């Protein structure tokens, strides 16, 4: 496997960062996860734009242009001879001194991985997921901005641990007011009375790229869309529920906290979104060959 690391494609065994890198020491950095299908990177420009927004929010000056990062990403995928897969693009604060001061890190570091990923077993895309609500809350926006895809994912990991220990693969995370924010790594949607509904970004949800795609597809499919605060009750009483994310794509949810959602099976609207998303992903994107 070839990894792009600070300007060079290197073998996986040579892709190393310093133990003094602040991304490793303090989770100080940003990242993006992207998919590529059929020789094209899906929504590459949108992902890179969000990467730069995250970097700006944490005062991380990226020494490469957006166009260069797009080109480096394409080169990395092509170098690995892959046609379909997953990309992880990471920018750390770089090597510095011990201590929190980010201004002691003179130069950021960037690496790009192109590989494969399977977030959930394939049968769950057909049969749906059973998920739980976890006790771990999403940090308040004033504490840690949810729009920033930072390397500090301990909050999400602790929520994922709760899900796994409860025998589930995913968990709903609430904010401190008790409203639904998102899941540990995915955005959440419900269908109710013919409308598509998803939590507000201000309630702690990531402004997901796949989330935006689903909203676009709702308009094309003629499905009304609403963005508002949601509670667990709204999910319990929904007609359908599904999750979205670059790694997860679109996956149905059939149960929350042992309460069946709708008929207890993936619903027809969810199926329409899965089909429309896959058609779009397989036919559009930035060619990398």
Residues 98 and 130 both lie in one domain: no
Residues 131 and 265 both lie in one domain: yes
Is 8 considered catalytic here? no
79-83: average pLDDT = 95
Task: With cut-offs at 50, 70 and 90, classify the pLDDT of residue 289.
Answer: confident
| CA quadruple 16, 9, 50, 52: dihedral sign | positive
Residue 248 domain flag? yes
Task: With cut-offs at 50, 70 and 90, classify the pLDDT of residue 141.
Answer: confident
Catalytic residue among 149, 160, 192, 220: 149
Quick one: pLDDT at residue 1? 93
Residues 146 and 242 both lie in one domain: yes
Q: Name the domain boundary from 89, 115, 141.
A: 115
CB 127 within 8 A of CB 266: yes
Convert the pLDDT of each residue in 52-70 to its tens digit: 999 999 999 999 999 999 9
77-92: average pLDDT = 97
Closest CA to 140 of 173, 167, 165: 173
CATH number of the domain encompassing residue 163: 3.20.10.10
Residues 211 and 235 both lie in one domain: yes
Mean pLDDT lowest for which of 28-42, 108-122, 208-222?
A: 108-122
Residue 246 domain flag? yes
DSSP 202: G
Q: Which residues of 257-268 are buried (b: 16+ CB within 10 A; e: fewer)?
A: eeeebbeeebbe
Domain hosting 69: range is: 2-115
Question: Distances from the Cα of 242 to the Cαs of 185, 210, 275, 283, in angstroms?
Answer: 13, 12, 13, 23
Residues 129 and 248 both lie in one domain: yes
CB 114 within 8 A of CB 150: no
State the pTM of this model: 0.95
Residues 110 and 133 both lie in one domain: no
């Amino acid at each position: 496997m070839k990894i792009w690391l600070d300007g060079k494609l290197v073998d996986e065994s040579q892709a190393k960062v310093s133990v003094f890198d602040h991304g490793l020491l303090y989770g100080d950095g940003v990242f993006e996860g992207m998919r590529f299908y059929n020789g094209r990177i899906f929504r590459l420009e949108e992902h890179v734009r969000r990467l730069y927004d995250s970097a700006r929010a944490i005062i991380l000056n990226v020494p490469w242009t957006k166009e260069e990062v797009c080109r480096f990403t394409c080169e990395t995928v092509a170098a690995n001879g892959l046609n379909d897969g997953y990309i992880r693009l990471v920018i750390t604060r770089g090597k510095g001194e011990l201590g929190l001061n980010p201004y002691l890190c003179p130069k950021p570091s960037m690496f790009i991985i192109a590989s494969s990923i399977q977030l959930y077993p394939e049968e769950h895309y057909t049969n749906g997921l059973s998920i739980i609500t976890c006790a771990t809350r999403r940090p308040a926006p004033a504490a840690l901005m949810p729009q920033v895809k930072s390397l500090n994912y301990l909050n999400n990991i602790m929520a994922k641990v709760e899900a796994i220990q409860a025998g589930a693969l995913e968990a709903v995370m609430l904010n401190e007011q008790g409203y639904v924010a998102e899941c540990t790594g995915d955005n959440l949607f419900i269908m109710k009375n013919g409308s598509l509904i998803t939590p507000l970004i201000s309630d702690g949800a990531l402004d997901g790229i796949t989330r935006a795609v689903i909203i676009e597809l709702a308009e094309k499919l003629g499905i009304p869309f609403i963005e508002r605060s949601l509670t667990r009750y709204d999910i319990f009483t929904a007609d359908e529920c599904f999750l979205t994310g670059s790694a997860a794509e679109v996956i149905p949810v059939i149960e929350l906290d042992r309460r069946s959602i709708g008929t207890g099976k993936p619903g027809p609207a969810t199926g329409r979104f899965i089909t429309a998303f896959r058609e779009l992903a397989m036919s559009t994107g930035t060619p990398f060959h």
